């Protein structure tokens, strides 16, 4: 069966948290040191809801969450209102099946619907699979921040990639709440 896309809700919080915490403990996909507590999900979902940012999940026939994608603000200043930074995480048991590709495509489609213009991906430099996937999906390299983080006893370089969308049709200066 082909997994299906859903909009995640707080009912998915524990499954999302499990995926995030596995990435924190075993990868450089997230640059936290300690697993996040369950209470952290309340603030996480509140920020997504307040900003109108989606949390897109892939579920199987049993309604199990296989992975999720989301995005949020790239930087806090108003002139960045058309730029978002996206993230995609796939459960460790379901990697290598094309789910990341589906989630990135869903993030891009939703960002276009919401009239964003620039989708940024921050990828740890040794994550060859993520870099290759983003390039295949039309992202372009746009910079490297050397030694941006330190985890697992080594410096981490952050590579930035961007995907420019054809939206909005009529961008405007001013209040981000009035995004065209």
Q: Which CATH architecture does the domain made up of 4-178 adopt?
A: 3-Layer(aba) Sandwich (3.40)
- Euclidean distance between CA atoms 170 and 156, whole angstroms: 38
pLDDT in tens, 122-157: 999 999 999 999 999 999 999 999 999 999 999 999
Query: Residue 177 — pLDDT band, cuts 50, 70, 90?
Result: low
The residue assigned the tokens 């940012």 is: 53
- Span 155-177, mean pLDDT? 91
pTM of the model: 0.94
Tell which residue, 95, 113, 167, 109, has the closest CA to residue 137.
109
* Cβ-based neighbours of 109, under 8 Å, separated by 6 or more: none
């Amino acid at each position: 069966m082909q997994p299906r896309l859903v909009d995640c809700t707080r009912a998915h919080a524990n499954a999302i948290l499990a995926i995030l915490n596995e990435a924190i403990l075993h990868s450089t996909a997230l640059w936290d040191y300690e697993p996040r507590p369950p209470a952290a999900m309340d603030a996480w979902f509140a920020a997504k809801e307040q900003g109108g940012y989606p949390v897109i999940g892939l579920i199987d026939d049993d309604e199990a969450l296989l992975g999720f994608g989301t995005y949020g603000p790239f930087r806090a200043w108003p002139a960045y209102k058309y730029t978002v930074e996206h993230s995609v995480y796939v459960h460790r048991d379901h990697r290598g099946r094309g789910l990341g590709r589906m989630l990135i495509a869903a993030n891009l489609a939703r960002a276009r619907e919401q009239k964003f213009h620039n989708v940024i991906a921050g990828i740890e430099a040794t994550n060859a699979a993520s870099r290759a996937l983003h390039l295949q999906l039309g992202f372009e390299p746009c910079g490297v921040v050397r030694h941006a983080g330190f985890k697992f006893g080594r410096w981490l370089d952050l590579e930035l990639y961007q995907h420019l969308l054809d939206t909005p049709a009529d961008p405007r200066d001013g209040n981000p709440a009035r995004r065209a």
